[in-house]
Structure 1
C-alpha cells in the first residue's frame, strides 16, 4: 500500500530530502508573496525564490507551473503541434513527453498516453510524479515535474489503448524541442 501511495503522491520528505520545501507551490506558504520563499529546482542550481521564478518565467508560465494554475482550453501553442520531438519542462528543461505518445483528445489541452521514460506501467525512469489533488472539490491526479515540482496538468483514466491514460498537460508548462533529422 505504501508503494501505491508513493506512486500516487510522490516520495515523502523523509524518503526524498528537500522535497518538502518552504514556500513550494501549493504549500502552506504559497501565495503569501514572500520574496524569500524557496521553490525547488535541482537542475537550476540552488532552489529558486519566488522572485527568481517570476524573473525566469512569463506571468502565465509562473501561474501554471508554480501556483498550480491552468491555461484556458484550446489556447495552448502545442495543442495542434504535430512535429516530431520531445516536450521538456519549461522550468528546468527535463524531458517529459515524446511526440510519439501525443494524441488529439478534443479536450483543449495537449494530451499524451504516457510519460517519456515509462516502461510498461513503471514510471520510475520518467520525468514526472503523480500527486493526489483535491483542490477543485473532486479527486484528481496531478502531474508534476520530478526535478523541479512544476505543476504540469493532470492525468485521467480515459486515454487510448494500450495505457488507457490521458495526460492532460498545459502548453505553457512545456518547451518543445524538434527531433534532429
Structure 2
C-alpha cells in the first residue's frame, strides 16, 4: 500500500511540477505575449507596451540601448552547449559553438544563428562610430559588432547578457552498455 502511495505521489509531482516545465520551458515568459522561439515574423510593438512587459533592466538595455557593466552578465562565462535567444521576443540568435572567450567582459560570438537573426545599425553615440546589433525580429538592442574576432569570420558580436536567453542542448544520456 505504501509503495502504491509513493508511486502515486511521484506521478503527481511529475504532472504538476516537472511536466509543465518540459511542455513550456519558457513559462517565465508567460506575461510576454510576443515571446516565441518558433515565430520569426517581424514584430512592431511600441516601447510603451515593451515597458509594461519587460523588467526594468532588460527594457533599459534592449529598448533604450544601454550597456550592462562589463564582467557582470550571467552568460559572460557560460560554456554550456546550447542556443542563445533574444530575451525580449525569443528569436534565435547564436549557437554556443560560435561563442568564444574574448576577455571584453560580455558574451562574444563570431557569427549569428541565421543571416536575418540580427540586423545592423550605425551607432554614433558616446563620441564613437560603431555598428549596433539588434534583434532581427523585434529590433531590440543586443550589443555591437567589431572586426577583431576569430576566424572564420573575423567578427566579434559583443552582446549584453541581459538581452539574451540561453537554453542548454538536451544530450541523450547513454543507458547501460551494448
The two structures have a TM-score, normalised by structure 2, of 0.70
Higher helix share: 2
Superposed CA offset, 1:29-77 (max 9, x none): xxxxxxxxxxxxx969974333421222111100000000000000100
Indicate which of 89, 107, 111 corresponds to 1:110.
Answer: 107
| 1:59-98 equivalences in 2 (<5 Å) | 59-98=56-95
Shift of 1:98: 0.6
Q: Which runs of 5+ in 1 are unaligned?
A: 1-41, 118-122
Aligned counterpart in structure 1 of residue 147 of structure 2, from 136, 157, 162 = 157
Question: 1:134 maps to which residue?
Answer: 124
1:176/1:104 CA distance change after superposition, 3 Å: same
RMSD: 2.0
- Cα distance in 1 for partners of 2:165, 2:91 equals 10
**2-structure distance, mates of 1:44, 1:54:** 21
Cα shift readout 1:61-100 (whole Å, capped 9, x = no counterpart):
0000000000000010000111111100011100001100
Select the residue among 155, 174, 177 that pairs with 2:167. 177
Could you say if the C-alpha distance between residues 59 and 100 of structure 1 is closer, same or farther in structure 2, counting changes exceeding 3 Å? same
Q: Is the 8 A contact 1:103 1:112 kept in 2?
A: yes
Find the aligned partners of 1:75 and 1:166 in 2 and give their Cα distance.
Answer: 19
- Give the structure-1-normalised TM-score: 0.69
Counterpart in the other structure of 2:27: none
2:127 partner SS: coil
Give the match's secondary structure for 1:114.
coil
Is 1:57 aligned with 2:47? no
Q: How many residues are paired up?
A: 134
